Structure 1
Amino acid sequence: MRKIPIVPTLVVLLAVAIMIALGVWQLGRAEEKDALLQRYAAAGASTDAVAWPINGDAAERVLYRRSRITCESLSAMKQVAGTAASGARGWAHRATCTLPGGEASALVDIGWSAVPNPAAWTGGQVSGIMAPGPRLVADPPLAGLEPLARPDPRELPNNHLSYAVQWFLFALTALVIYGIALRRRWRDRS
């Protein structure tokens, strides 16, 4: 009679159960992410401006909506990789602005250029689209720069379904490997 070792079998079955639970969890996350992306797409169609968010949770609720700020002063200006509205690759000019009252700041992408030369901009009124970060992508661009590509929620990945498939495959693989190990053990003992 072939004996199945109790402790190793329980360990493998526990691991498989955990992997399956993680796969089911990722399926739920896929549905949540899809709903979030749909909400972002609907927000992009709104023309009403929203206030600059005071914290990360508030920023999450207003992504891809129009907003407006007053940049009282600049604390930093840098160039980061960016894409123009035309699709050309180059440099986004990003300012760190001090907001009225001096207690809060905002990141503002003021426009695009093909070269990383600093833009001559000292602040003022900015309107644009809220992007992840959070940052405001100026629309229209400022300081004689070209427009940046509009923030698009379709660029955010929803790869939770593939993660779920991976967890289910890990569980299946663990069972197959354990089955092979048991066969070899039984064969060696007979």
Structure 2
Amino acid sequence: MTSMIETRTKRWPVIPTLLVLAAVAVMIALGVWQLQRKNEKEALIALFQRNMAMSSLVTYPRLPPVEDRFLYRKSSVVCLEPVRWDPRSGTDRKGKAGIRMIADCRTGAEGPGVLIDVGIGDDFASPKWKGGTVQGTIVPGPEQPTVIERMTGNATPARAMLIADMPIAGLRASAVPSADDTPNNHLAYAVQWFLFAAAALVIYILAVRRRLRP
């Protein structure tokens, strides 16, 4: 009897089993982490929804990174001069497609300035706008760090952007993103990781049983 147990123990692939179990543990940990991220994202969306319901103005955050408490709040800035235009595709508030005219505005002698979406046009021609006071909604800027940049620690702080309530002459008002548009796919990611862990474990057990079959 002892000899049979020893024979089976020798035949069982111990090191591959440990590696598979370690991989399964990592997958489960990633699934649990995604569930935690889901709760955090739901709290963040709730904050954004409260921000959207507020009508009072906040001081525009000049330096990135922008705190979440500022996003989707109303604010006002003075653009002394648009130093650069960054036209991008977008839609107006009626859903019609066009070109968003984003001005990189100088607001003082120093600093990164302020990004302002002054409205939607039909072509890439820069508006004849020299600046002024703009009131609107603070939203995440168009240049957000990628997942790889965040993971490698090479992400630069993202700037926010102000979407003007009233477009400048000759343009249409740009659509304002909703807090409900904030992606929250963490539950799906968690389920995927748990399924990967279960599949890896089942496949490995079946493979080992086949190998140990007389």
TM-score normalized by the length of structure 2: 0.83
Mapped to 2, the partners of 1:35 and 1:184 lie a distance apart of 48
Structure 2 stretches lacking a partner, 5+ long? 142-159
Q: Which of 18, 22, 26 is the matching residue for 2:34?
A: 26
8 A Cα contact 2:62 2:114, kept in partner: no
8 A Cα contact 1:129 1:150, kept in partner: yes
Mapped to 2, the partners of 1:116 and 1:147 lie a distance apart of 16
Q: After TM superposition, give the deviation of residue 108 of structure 1 in Å.
A: 0.5
Structure 1: 4+ residue segments shifted above 3 A: none
Mapped to 2, the partners of 1:141 and 1:61 lie a distance apart of 25
Other-structure match for 1:143: 169
Q: After TM superposition, give the deviation of residue 6 of structure 1 in Å.
A: 1.7
Q: Which of 13, 18, 27 is the matching residue for 1:10?
A: 18
CA-atom RMSD, angstroms? Answer: 1.4
Q: Which of 166, 173, 179 is the matching residue for 1:153?
A: 179
Amino acid aligned to 2:197? A
Mapped to 2, the partners of 1:104 and 1:114 lie a distance apart of 28
8 A Cα contact 2:51 2:73, kept in partner: yes
Q: After TM superposition, give the deviation of residue 58 of structure 1 in Å.
A: 3.6
Structure 1 stretches lacking a partner, 5+ long? none
* Count of matched residue pairs: 188
1:184 maps onto 2:213 in alignment: no
Mapped to 2, the partners of 1:45 and 1:5 lie a distance apart of 60
1:51 maps onto 2:59 in alignment: yes
TM-score normalized by the length of structure 1: 0.93
Other-structure match for 1:162: 188
Residues 61-140 of structure 1 mapped to structure 2, 5 A cutoff:
61-133=69-141, 134-140=160-166
